[in-house]
Structure 1
Amino acid sequence: MKSLPDIQELEAFETLIKSFDFMLCIDLEATCDELMESENPRALVVSPDEMETIEIGVAVIDLRRMETVDMFQRYVRPVLHPTLTDFCINLTSIRQADVDAAQSFPKVATEFTAFLQKYPNAVWGSWGDYDADQLAADALRANCTPILCGVQHLDIERSYREIFACPSIGLWAAVEALGLNWSGQYHRGIDDAKNLADMVVLLLARSRKIL
């Protein structure tokens, strides 16, 4: 990874979002399973196409003030596999009690849509395209309107790779590479969203030559 950003790519990143007033940095956590090194071969309890969102984390950036101004976090109760795997609990630190007490995806989607009304002219961003694909799959499974339908999506990981001419990199590593200190728990929706927002603000600050 280059230590200095490509100025043209950095300016291109700002150009992508300069017409918007807000950016919603979003991170999802989902049901999942994976074989541990110590385990004997077995079928996965949750296959990749059965993953369901169990946490939605959102950090809202005011793109004029260049700061995070609001948060949204909800757990979501899974339907296909209501019992979290040990792998999922260890990865996310989300507890079974958290999802048992949560609302269904359609109800959380309604709450989030109401929250979104406070932030017109917004773009939303995520680290990679997984979150957009997962939200579409959740909506299809629940037979409801996709969250963020009609709101433009920005793959921030792709922009990061172009700015620093680097291969795919995890969010934690990308944040630390910029000189920021990771805050909170990795693989928690709200914490990942907050750190993603901090990254975006820093990149914009560099583009606008504030830093």
Structure 2
Amino acid sequence: MASQLKNAPASVNGHIDDLSAEALKSLSLGNEGHVRSDSAGEDHEENSQRGDLLCANPYETLAFLEEEIETEEIPEKEEGQKRPSQSSEKHKELSRINGQINRMKMDQLKKRLRQFDLDTSGSKSVLQQRLKSYHKRKVLKENECHYSYYIIIDFEATCDAHPHNLRHEIIEFPAVLVSTKKKKIVAKFHSYVRPVINPKLTTFCTNLTGITQEQVNFAPEFPEVLRKFEEWLKEHKLKVDMKTFAVVTDGPWDMGRFLYHQCKISKVPYPHWAKTWINIKKPFCNFYNTERMNLQGMLTKLGMNFIGHPHCGLDDARNIARVAIKLHEDGANMRVNEQINFKKPKNLEQRLHTVKCINRNDFNAMIKRRNVDPPRDGEDEYLSDECEDKEDPFEDEEESSAVGSSVCETEYDKEFPSLLVK
């Protein structure tokens, strides 16, 4: 009988609470008598101890049997299947926690967030994701912070209510430096830029951006501003690699249109540091599970108000930085997700496709190379207008074909109606 109890723990565990002490006593006596008739010596002594324990409290009996089960070496063929891995158990635990969070009401979410000293501002979906991310990092002990700094850039360019093929020129070059360790803005760069093709600003442009004609008249031209910005990078020891910093923008326009075409106008090389960047709209909508929205919408979703003057480049950059800091604090995967596309367009329509997506596999490949885009022959050549009609010196067919699909800028027509050429 002892061997039967040992080999059938589930039965004992399921009914031990229903057995009375007297029933267990009789069970133990029958067990003891049965063993005496077939065994002697050590077997007799062991079964006597088992009988004494079975006569005691039934909960002590259960504890004894469970201890035997844990210490028993079960042959591999009797296991039936492998024990679940530690990783699998952690993900099951996360799934259970996430289910509880999904059922919480707003006041319950805020109460739980306060227990962990987490921010309680934002919509319900934001609070849910913030709490889920906290538990994920705690259970899995994963940290997806790829950079020491974020450089948030938001150019302002010449514009008009009726563009009519207007060639946009950068007239404000702002950048704010965010430390991911300190989770705050630690430095800024700012300069106005004098346009050369359309030196006189339109009334529409001044009203929209707040930039006056006098401010651009006394500003340096773009090549000098770009040189000063790169000196600013060196002053802060910001190396162009995959770990020091990543550029962050609100959409693909700043790099894919304004900077790209400004380098052509000014006949300067497209800067290495701007070849890849984080389009903050993508991690925001993916992490918080929202639709694509503009800067004001993101701030509202996070329970924040816009600080400053909208379409002032420096104020826009500061507010984008606030969103980036919150995404970083909440545990979003802030990695470069777009890059400039130097590939020669096959037709006029494809000239809009100046930006390509960077998927996770492409990003991991960049990490292995430890560089966004290794130097190539002819990299110092400027992007002149003739580059559109012949092979681009930056182009690498094999690498560009491995990158994700192109992004058409017309997706952002609703957000920037005054800047899109129809």
Match of 2:206 among 74, 89, 97: 89
**Judging changes above 3 Å, is the alpha-carbon distance between structure 1 residues 9 and 93 closer, same or farther for their aligned structure 2 residues?**
farther
- CA contact 1:135–1:147 (8 Å) conserved in 2: no
In 1: Cα distance, 2:228 partner to 2:133 partner: 36
Structure 1 residues 50-80: Cα deviation after superposition (integer angstroms, max 9, x where no partner): 0011001111001111111001111000111
- CA contact 2:192–2:220 (8 Å) conserved in 1: yes
Alpha-carbon offset, residue 116 of structure 1: 1.2
Secondary structure, counterpart of 1:149 in structure 2: helix
- CA contact 1:125–1:154 (8 Å) conserved in 2: yes
**Judging changes above 3 Å, is the alpha-carbon distance between structure 1 residues 51 and 21 closer, same or farther for their aligned structure 2 residues?**
same
Alignment of 1:28-107 (within 5 A): 28-35=155-162, 44=163, 47-48=165-166, 50-107=167-224
Scaled by the length of structure 1, what TM-score is found? 0.83
Residue 147 (structure 2) pairs with residue 24 (structure 1):
no
Secondary structure, counterpart of 1:183 in structure 2: coil
Structure 1 residues 7-44: Cα deviation after superposition (integer angstroms, max 9, x where no partner): 78998xx73xx221111011010000114xxxxxxxx4
**Judging changes above 3 Å, is the alpha-carbon distance between structure 1 residues 127 and 104 closer, same or farther for their aligned structure 2 residues?**
same
- CA contact 2:284–2:327 (8 Å) conserved in 1: no
Question: Number of paired residues?
Answer: 194
- CA contact 1:183–1:195 (8 Å) conserved in 2: yes
Q: Which runs of 4+ in 1 moved over 3 A?
A: 5-11, 147-152
Residue in structure 2 matched with residue 157 of structure 1 by the alignment: 281
Alpha-carbon offset, residue 3 of structure 1: 3.8
- CA contact 2:263–2:269 (8 Å) conserved in 1: yes
* Larger strand share, 1 or 2: 1
Match of 1:131 among 249, 254, 266: 254
In 1: Cα distance, 2:265 partner to 2:272 partner: 16
1:109 counterpart letter in structure 2: L
Alpha-carbon offset, residue 167 of structure 1: 2.8
Secondary structure, counterpart of 1:4 in structure 2: helix
Q: Which has the larger radius of gyration?
A: 2
2:324 counterpart letter in structure 1: V
- CA contact 2:295–2:320 (8 Å) conserved in 1: yes
Q: Which runs of 5+ in 2 are unaligned?
A: 1-122, 137-142, 333-422
2:266 counterpart letter in structure 1: A
- CA contact 1:28–1:54 (8 Å) conserved in 2: yes
In 1: Cα distance, 2:312 partner to 2:271 partner: 19
Q: Which runs of 5+ in 1 are unaligned?
A: 36-43
Residue 272 (structure 2) pairs with residue 145 (structure 1):
no
1:164 counterpart letter in structure 2: Y
- CA contact 1:54–1:76 (8 Å) conserved in 2: yes
Residue in structure 2 matched with residue 174 of structure 1 by the alignment: 298
Residue in structure 2 matched with residue 41 of structure 1 by the alignment: none
More relative contact order, 1 or 2 (CA 8 Å, 6+ apart):
1
Aligned-pair identity (%) = 26
In 1: Cα distance, 2:270 partner to 2:286 partner: 29
Alpha-carbon offset, residue 152 of structure 1: 3.4
Match of 1:4 among 125, 134, 137: 125
* Larger helix share, 1 or 2: 2
In 2: Cα distance, 1:81 partner to 1:57 partner: 21
Secondary structure, counterpart of 1:146 in structure 2: coil
Alpha-carbon offset, residue 158 of structure 1: 1.7
Structure 1 residues 108-143: Cα deviation after superposition (integer angstroms, max 9, x where no partner): 000001111212311111000000111111112111
Residue in structure 1 matched with residue 374 of structure 2 by the alignment: none
Scaled by the length of structure 2, what TM-score is found? 0.43
